[in-house]
Structure 1
Amino acid sequence: MAERILIVDDDPVSRRLIEAMVGRFGYEAVTADGGAAGIAALTDDGARFDAVVLDLMMPGVDGLGVLSRMREGGISLPVIVQTAHGGIDNVVAAMRAGASDFVVKPVGAERLQVSLRNALATGALESELKLIKRSRAGVLTFKDIVTRSTNMLGVLRMAEKAASSTIPVLIEGESGVGKELIARAIHGTSDRKAKPFVAVNCGAIPDNLVESILFGHEKGAFTGATERHTGKFVEASGGTLFLDEVGELPLSAQVKLLRAIQEGEVEPVGARKPVKVDVRIVSATNRDLTKDAKSGRFREDLFYRLHVYPLTVPPLRERREDVAGLVRHFLARFGAEEGRRIRAISGDALAMLRNYPWPGNVRQLENSVFRAVVLAETDEIGVAEFPQILAQQHERAAEPMSLGESASAPLAPVASDEATPMMFDPMIGVAIPPRPRQVDNGPSVQLLDPTGEARPLEAIEADAIRFALTHYRGQMSEVARRLQIGRSTLYRKLESLGLAEDAPAKPEVVATR
């Protein structure tokens, strides 16, 4: 999915010119015909933008007014201010109000492209630094979670509702999908955010030490207990206790955990009386606890205590639109940590990452980007920096591929056209080489079904559109042009054929006067 740029300008001619340039750069352009419309777009809960191109001189709410409202609302986006009046006073006022750059009308395409690239790169790094600070302070929120997936956004909306109460939450999902991040966001959005967030990996605790670590022990309670230990429940009192991989707890510890949740008190090993605790329980598991409860592996009464508000986090392969944003996020972070200036990621590398199935989910993607940053010999990340994924891609590319599989299968080997000018990657806001040309002729259309009968025209059309989305990397304007249909017609066909999830979200256009 391309990054979204909000263009706020009361001049319709200037607005259309900027919109056309932003579209040529590969971004999704959203327009607003004035300051009030721009503020409405920025404060819309369902709208997410990566940068703003803002006209300074507008009737009603001017550019400085928009910047002021953004600052008051805590909206931290890179803003490029443009105006026909390029006086030094205007520059100083705009920069003091929070603008990241300043251009004079009429701005050239090259100047705007460089300004957007720098603003997005700086914004990504600033966002990462703020995220690190909030993470260390234990005040992460749902806005800190990088996602544009409809499925994931639905999970976050449910989690946000749970955050305002003390209801026990059970987060289910495969390893590496980000269950702890959601738990931290629940804590950081709740009334307990000023209190401790204590995370415990239940699967990493030896069976004979589970009770001691969770509930504490007195000095001399057992061999090796040379001093008193309060335990994780007491440590998290007043805040949130996150029980990761709770399904790995032994049955003996499950009994005491159930009592601690029911009674609001724990009994340390060797203690004479129980200790009152006030904790909010958030647990997580990659197991099917329903089956474990029925088989007797997990206590059924404890299961119903924990399974009050379940959240299921989708794996990364079911939200491929998040890959580009996560790559940008990890590149900014690891580039800063390793002292490496990574300027770009090649188009074929990004396409390869988006089409990889990611069995290890977000954790595997994070580690792959980390390794790529370390391996990189230049300031551009290419496919060579992902040797393991590249090897698997070649193995899968050698297998027969039907058109219906093209949306999720990796790309075939490609060859670059060095004579073509550099393009701009909308996913990460950096310059990249042009999209390489396919070496082979691509998959053929399947006209017959497995029974030998002709396939319905609607199914053939769906396969053709799905292939075009993959072939042109989700660039909707290019897909519509190559299929010789209008963009609005393309979006209608995606909706009617059930392919809306395979394509980038349609840009929201703010109504003009």
Structure 2
Amino acid sequence: MTDKQIKNVCNRSTEQAEPNTIWLAEQSPTLKGVYATHLRAGGHYVVEIDEPETLCDQLCEEQPDLLILDMGLPEALACKVLSHVQALDMDIPILALANERTAHLAARSLERGADDYLMKPFDETRLLASIRRILETVQMREQLRALLNVGGREGLGDMVGSTPAMRAIYRGIDALSETTAPVLLSGAPGTGKRLAARTIHQTGPRRSGPFIMVDCTSLTSTQLDHEIFGDARAGLMMEPSARSASGLRANLSATGALRRAHGGSLYLRGVDALDIALQTKLLRFLQTGTVSAGRADRLQSLDVRLMCSMDADPLASISSGRFREDLFYRLNIANLSLPALAERKTDIARLARHFLAREASETHSGFRDLSDDAVAALEAWEWNENVRELEALVSWICQSHRGVTVEAYMLPSDGDRRYRRVAARRMESEPSSAYGKEEEVPGLVLGELAEASLADIERMIIENRIAAYGNSIPKAAHSLGISPSTIYRKKEGWDDGAVVADQAGPVGSRHFDLPKTADGAVLVG
């Protein structure tokens, strides 16, 4: 089936022939009337449940598009309804409502099958936004079911592979890209979680917006707070007159990743590295869609699609108290699990040839193909770091040997220390050419770059490109369309504090550096 046919399947599954039917089981008659008014104004058909004690029987006879369930119903009735729905495997989306008295039941409701919860009091905007997110998730599930029979492809975006495991990933991305629900990406190190997050962004309606990544494992708690949420005063006004390199960098950092990702997507790598206080702030953003804008009574609304990965086992982290259970269930609305390379061995040759072609383009390597013996050796290799290690190995072969066809004898031995050093540098840098382009710069940042000097901008681009290619000046130079000697001359000028001018343009003496993660990714969106 073609991409167009797949798109048609997704479109058919999201069409609404009539308003959604919502059942409202609320203890307070007054609140029930208020909520019903809001829901009807939002275009929904509302059934007010006047006898909640009969709710389980009613659900057996008829099922709504969504059930709003007050956790404060008498005689633990809400918990009984959740258990009933879960025991009979009913596919009913549920929005739980709680107050201070029933707050302890809120997170547990997610564990028992509720899709989301709201803490009272809340306004009409939050109610309708929560319902919209839940219904979008339902549409996503329907799309996944509809796509189960769709034929496979050999790649998607920058992703490479045609095994059943990867085709399942492509189908999942097709469905996820059409929603705004949070996504939790799981998988062993090096399986391509960041690439999957970027592909979800680039294949969805937010593709024209920024894609921002924050590596939560490489920063302190204070740094993470500043990097993700920024300075609250940045919500009032971004300073556009940062005419020095240091001022520009401060402005970019002050906004915070959430503000820079407005209209696009934010990927938090290793979100379990956040401490409990930051987890609480992130949960508050997921619940309200707002961040502080400088005063206690002022909030700034942001439109951000959140995607995350976790390094530790989530259930173990929750049990030990290191990760909030309610935050996990908020993030885990949709889950995409990336397969290990050992689970997709028939993709190894295709991936290796992909990396060979990239090396030929970037470094003018002469290698074009793999011998059968080399393919067999690669398929027998223990890929502890998965695709990232395969990429590093191909890079090492191209640096260490000459030829047209990679042979089995060219593979390094287990004890080859030089390969391990090269592989470690490559795996730490995670070059952008293999895992997607560096984060796009949103209009707000471009406006601020206009205030910087050409010398600062040129130095920023060259230094960040070198970092993105694992500190390889030849590869960085090739990607920029200049010779390595040009970069070496410029670096000498920077070190000497002089201004170097040649065909690549002027270079100033001021140091300029945008925020990066430990792996060299530029954190500017």
Q: TM-score, normalised by structure 2?
A: 0.45
Larger fraction in helix: 2
